[in-house]
Amino acid sequence: MNTQTFIPISQPSITQLEIDYVTDALKSGWVSSLGEYITKFEEKFAAYCGTKYALTTANGTTGIHLALATYGIKPGDEVIVPDFTFIATANAVNYTGAKPVFVDIEEDTLCINPLEIEKAITEKTKAIIAVHLYGHPANMTAINQLAQQYNLIVMEDTAEAHGASINGQKVGSLSYCGIFSFYGNKIVTSGEGGMITTNDEEFYQKAKHLRDHAMSSSKRYWHDELGYNYRMTNMQAALGLAQLERIDEFIEKRQEIFNEYQKNLSDIPGLKLNFTAKWATNVYWLICLEIEGYTEIERNNLMDALKLKGIDTRPYFYPISDMPMYKNEQIYTPITHKVYQRGINLPCYFDLTDREIDYICSSIGNYLELNQFSAA
Ligand SMILES: Cc1ncc(COP(=O)(O)O)c(C=O)c1O
């Protein structure tokens, strides 16, 4: 590697297939949210996830909001979400007027802890959003059992875990509905975009109606309730479809990338890479590296050092309950608060080479040696 080296944390793989489909969509003249690529993308995505229906949305955030609004989540309700996730999970709850209630995570999977969910349930609780973080599924078996016991609905935020599964069953099909993101750094991208998956026909039809301004199907320009424009364009769907047709190779490559990181870093004491539970298939959306005992400042110093080597990284998510709009003294999430400080995400994308991974790993090793890393 030379002084010009720059290894991004993520980048999409665009081949002739993507170019052909997008060009075709453009040439067809169907550039907005009608067109055959929308239908094809939705049908293929539903088949891939093993659900009856899939509905495209403008992005993952609007998808979560739409799912909550369709289910009837409203002011006065509470929705349980993990404290450790991307902000959109909590914001989407907030958009409905309901209150997101933050719950701690499991230290190994980094996903919401079912035991902590139970403690947070009140009379106002209506739903749980399980987030499959960084490519690892949340413990849906335990979460679904709990939800059944307390008569709650479960939704999966599957933005970061396309193709992950539990006992062979894909995420997005493991609860009432799943919501995916196709942002440019995701396993499958459509530029911007999202998808709701479900087996419930009534929910699907209502979500579709609300997504399209809630326009009456029998009386054009008559709107029978408050709707939204949360649609995806045909051009985005064309890109998404091409990517979906390549998803198996994307996931296979991510596993290989993880193996290469593991080969290089497993000998360094005090370092921990992505954990995978026995019951789960991980799709390694991002490589998670945790440095035992690191504080936020030490973690940031490592990231700065890697940046000087041309290596792009990102910090773990911050606890959402620490953000100004959600700050709440009563929230106690010790695992989230411990884990976020010591974690960074390393580059993981289709065109990343073994040579680049070796360079990233040796840069980390050298830095830790120079800084007399002695944890564990
Ligand atoms: C866990 C999680 N939820 C929701 C979203 C929101 O998706 P989008 O960026 O497509 O709105 C993201 C995307 O980054 C995410 O990582």
The structural domains of the chain, ordered by start, are 16-244 (3.40.640.10), 247-370 (3.90.1150.10)
Contact, 138 vs 109, CB < 8 A? Answer: yes
Q: How many CB atoms lie within 10 A of CB 323?
A: 12
For 301, the 3-state DSSP assignment is helix
For the cut 90, the answer to whether the pLDDT of residue 25 exceeds it is yes
Residues 284 and 258 sit within 8 Å (Cβ to Cβ): yes
**What number does the ligand 1 atom closest to the CA of 194 have?**
10
Q: Which range (125-129, 246-250, 329-333) has the least confidence?
A: 329-333
pLDDT at 374 over 60: no
Comparing C-alpha atoms, which of 320, 316, 341 is closest to residue 101?
320
Question: For position 5, what pLDDT does the model report?
Answer: 86
Dihedral over Cα of 268, 271, 274, 279: its sign: positive
- Cα distance between residue 247 and residue 204, in whole Å: 24
pLDDT for res 331: 84
Name the percent of the chain lying above pLDDT 90. Answer: 95
DSSP-derived 3-state class of residue 292: coil
Q: What is the mean pLDDT of residues 254-276?
A: 96
Measured in Å, residue 373 CA sits from the centre of ligand 1 at 34
State how far Cα 367 lies from the chain centre.
30
Distance CA 108, CA 188 (A): 25
Q: Is 273 exposed, middle or buried (0-12, 13-18, 19+ CB in 10 A)?
A: middle
Query: 220 alpha carbon to ligand 1 midpoint, in Å?
Result: 33
Q: Is the pLDDT of residue 72 over 90?
A: yes
Q: What is the pLDDT of residue 329?
A: 66
Q: How confident is the model at residue 2 (pLDDT cuts 50, 70, 90)?
A: low
In this prediction, residue 330 carries a pLDDT of 76
For residue 114, CA distances in Å to 90, 103, 106, 123, 130 come to 18, 9, 9, 18, 10
Whether pLDDT at 162 is above 50: yes
Core vs surface per residue 200-218: b (16+ CB within 10 A) or e: beebbebbbbbbbbeeeee
Mean pLDDT of 178-187: 98
> Ligand 1 within 6 A of 60 CB?
yes
Task: Decide whether any atom of ligand 1 lies within 6 Å of the 194 Cβ.
Answer: yes
∠ at Cα 167 (279, 113), nearest 5°? 45
Q: Which of 45-59, 301-315, 321-335 has the lowest mean pLDDT?
A: 321-335
The residues that bridge with 305 in the sheet, in sequence order, are none
Q: Please tell me the distance from the alpha carbon of residue 335 to that of residue 344, in angstroms, as a whole number.
A: 16
Neighbours of 290 (CB within 10 A): 23
How many residues belong to the chain? 376
Tell whether ligand 1 has an atom less than 6 A from the beta carbon of residue 281. no
**Is ligand 1 within 6 A of the CB of residue 57?**
no
Rounded to 5 degrees, φ, ψ at 310 are 80, 20
Average pLDDT value for the chain: 96
Dihedral of CA atoms 232, 238, 243, 248 in degrees, nearest 10, equals: 100
Q: Which residue has the higher pLDDT, 327 or 92?
A: 92
In this prediction, residues 45-54 reach a mean pLDDT of 98
Task: Choose one of 160, 182, 320 to mutate for the ligand 1 pocket test, by most ligand atoms within 8 angstroms of C-beta.
Answer: 160
- State the Cα–Cα distance between residues 101 and 92, nearest whole angstrom: 13
Distance from C-alpha of 111 to C-alpha of 118, rounded to nearest angstrom: 15
pLDDT of residue 4: 79
pLDDT tens for 193-226 read 999 999 999 999 999 999 999 999 999 999 999 9
CA of 157 to the centre of ligand 1 (A): 8
- Decide: 159 and 181 in contact? Cβ < 8 Å: yes
The pTM is what?
A: 0.97
- Looking from the CA of residue 133, the nearest atom of ligand 1 is 1
Tell me the C-alpha distance between 202 and 99, whole Å.
Answer: 25
Q: Indicate if the pLDDT at residue 376 is higher than 50.
A: no
Q: How far apart are CA 34 and CA 107, in angstroms?
A: 44
